[in-house]
């Protein structure tokens, strides 16, 4: 089974403790939130707004199994 990066536009920025900022689409945000809650891990969420975007809208950082 191989993985490719999700091609959806990102809707949120998020930060896991000890990790760099990442981006996710709405579909992947649901799964990330569930995993974080199950681990008791605080994840900081920020919406992506047009004023944040300077070099094109970011894509989701999540990977999808094929």
Instruction: Per-residue pLDDT tens, the chain, 66 aa: give them.
Output: 688 999 999 999 999 888 899 999 999 999 999 999 999 998 999 999 887 777 788 899 999 887
Q: How far apart are the first and last CA of the chain?
A: 6
Distance of CA 31 to the CA centre of its chain: 10
pLDDT at 38: 96
Distance CA 25, CA 60 (A): 5
Break the chain into its structural domains and give their ranges. 3-65
List the structure tokens of 59: 């894509």
Distance CA 29, CA 27 (A): 6
């Amino acid at each position: 089974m191989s993985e490719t990066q999700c091609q959806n536009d990102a809707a949120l920025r998020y930060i896991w403790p000890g990790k760099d900022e990442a981006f996710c689409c709405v579909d992947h945000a649901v799964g990330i939130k569930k995993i974080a809650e199950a681990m008791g891990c605080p994840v900081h969420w920020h919406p992506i707004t047009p004023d944040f975007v300077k070099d094109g809208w970011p894509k989701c950082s999540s990977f999808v199994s094929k």
